[in-house]
Amino acid sequence: MKPILEISDLSVSFPGNDGVLSAIDNINLTIRKGETLAVIGESGSGKSILGLSIMRLLPANARITGSVLFTGTDLLSIPHSEIEAIRGSKIAWIPQNPKTSFNPSMKMWKQIAEPAVVHLGKSWTHARIQAVKQLETYSIFPPEFWAEEYPVTYSGGMLQRATIAMGTSTNPDVLIADEPTKGIDRITKKDIIEKFARLKKTGVTLMLITHDLDFATELADRIVVIYCGQIVEISDAGCFLKSPLHPYSRGLVHSLPQNGLFPIPGTAPPMHMRFSGCRFRERCADRSDQCDCDIGLNQSGDGYVRCIQCDNWDRTKKTV
Ligand SMILES: Nc1ncnc2c1ncn2[C@@H]1O[C@H](COP(=O)(O)OP(=O)(O)OP(=O)(O)O)[C@@H](O)[C@H]1O
Ligand code: NI
């Protein structure tokens, strides 16, 4: 598959009173056209910052270096007007909190229709018809009724689905969803999974930012594991649950309810620390003196892993 997004040496930091906080550190990642990629990792590891960097929607105090090529164009260096145009039509973002993503004083159909009017030059009449269809696609029945309603009348699950309807209204090439299963019940989650599975079939490139490993493995082709602002593993989603390589990934898999709910001991170090060596080593049962050295992301089979101990591991023999 051809690459659609090529992220190179991407770092984002925030200057603060405790020194500089490094939110993501030297991320290199190629996203292939049409694939579904899940980015997983615990709270504060830099998942949203990675997604927001691609969208160029970072907070004003962020410092960013590196490049993000979208079909060859560096999204980080093009003029503001160009990134606005791409953001509205070709790369869409589904924000983390559906409750705050809508304008409370605008009817729902208008909010879903707006990107197509502003970015694709569609008429409001045409865009309204499309918006109602979008509501129907995302199981908001009866769509004509809910199109005329305001966001406050929608339930949490409906709002979640409406954010996907809004994010896909311009038929983007890339869709980045930030924690689409956060704070929803099991039934709604099943429904959201089904909607993304359907989207996946349309050939859109999907980036799912999540801490929900079940959600990630259900939908993704590849899994990217982030720990303390660094990629520690890139794995084929099919073998991730059976044979995660990095000790942090293994910890995540062990902590799933179906594997006995064993939490990873300790907590992640604060992000404004000056790191040297493996960032996971304090929490790692397999650590040795070698882990004090910085280690790169090394190829392992089809994937990549950042661990000196994993170098000689055979993924085909490794089980959880
Ligand atoms: N505007 C900001 N100013 C300073 N630090 C920030 C800012 N936004 C994010 N950070 C810091 O950057 C780091 C990465 O944050 P990010 O939101 O990407 O984490 P995350 O992996 O998405 O976590 P969560 O699962 O909680 O959403 C965190 O340490 C966070 O505190
Ligand atoms: Ni986040």
Same domain, 182 and 167: no
Looking at 171, 205, 221, which one is the last position of a domain?
A: 171
Same domain, 283 and 263: yes
Same domain, 196 and 287: yes
Same domain, 158 and 191: no
pLDDT digits (tens, 9 = 90+) for 40-72: 999 999 999 999 999 999 999 999 999 999 999
- Asked whether the predicted pLDDT for residue 319 surpasses 60, the reply is no
Give the residue, by CA position, lying nearest to ligand 1 atom 13. 23
- Asked whether the predicted pLDDT for residue 251 surpasses 90, the reply is yes
* Percentage of residues of the chain with pLDDT beyond 70: 97
Structurally, the chain folds into a number of domains equal to 2
Closest atom of ligand 1 relative to the 226 alpha carbon: 21
Same domain, 183 and 209: yes
- Asked whether the predicted pLDDT for residue 315 surpasses 60, the reply is no
For β-strands 205-210 and 174-178, DSSP reports them as: parallel
Closest atom of ligand 1 relative to the 211 alpha carbon: 25
Q: Distance, CA 213 to ligand 2 centroid (Å)?
A: 15
Collapsing DSSP to helix, strand or coil, 111 comes out as: helix
154's tokens: 């929608």
Is the distance from the beta carbon of residue 95 to the nearest atom of ligand 1 less than 6 Å?
Answer: no
Residue 17: what pLDDT?
87
The Cα 41–Cα 22 span in angstroms is: 16
Degrees to nearest 5, angle at CA 300 with 294 and 301? 170
Give the residue, by CA position, lying nearest to ligand 1 atom 10. 23
* Percentage of residues of the chain with pLDDT beyond 90: 81
Split at pLDDT 50, 70, 90, the class of 249 is very high
Give the residue, by CA position, lying nearest to ligand 1 atom 20. 44
Q: Distance, CA 142 to ligand 2 centroid (Å)?
A: 33
Domain assignment of residue 317, yes or no: no
Is the distance from the beta carbon of residue 59 to the nearest atom of ligand 1 less than 6 Å?
Answer: yes
Q: What number is the average pLDDT over the span 15-29? A: 93
Domain assignment of residue 275, yes or no: yes
* Integer angstrom CA distances of residue 273 from 10, 18, 20: 19, 9, 8
Beta bridge partners of 3: 32
Split at pLDDT 50, 70, 90, the class of 301 is confident
Same domain, 202 and 242: yes
Is the distance from the beta carbon of residue 47 to the nearest atom of ligand 1 less than 6 Å?
Answer: yes
Residue 1: what pLDDT?
80
Is the distance from the beta carbon of residue 159 to the nearest atom of ligand 1 less than 6 Å?
Answer: no
Dihedral in degrees, nearest 10, Cα atoms 3, 35, 114, 93: -90
Domain interval for residue 122: 98-171
Same domain, 59 and 205: yes
Residue 317: what pLDDT?
52
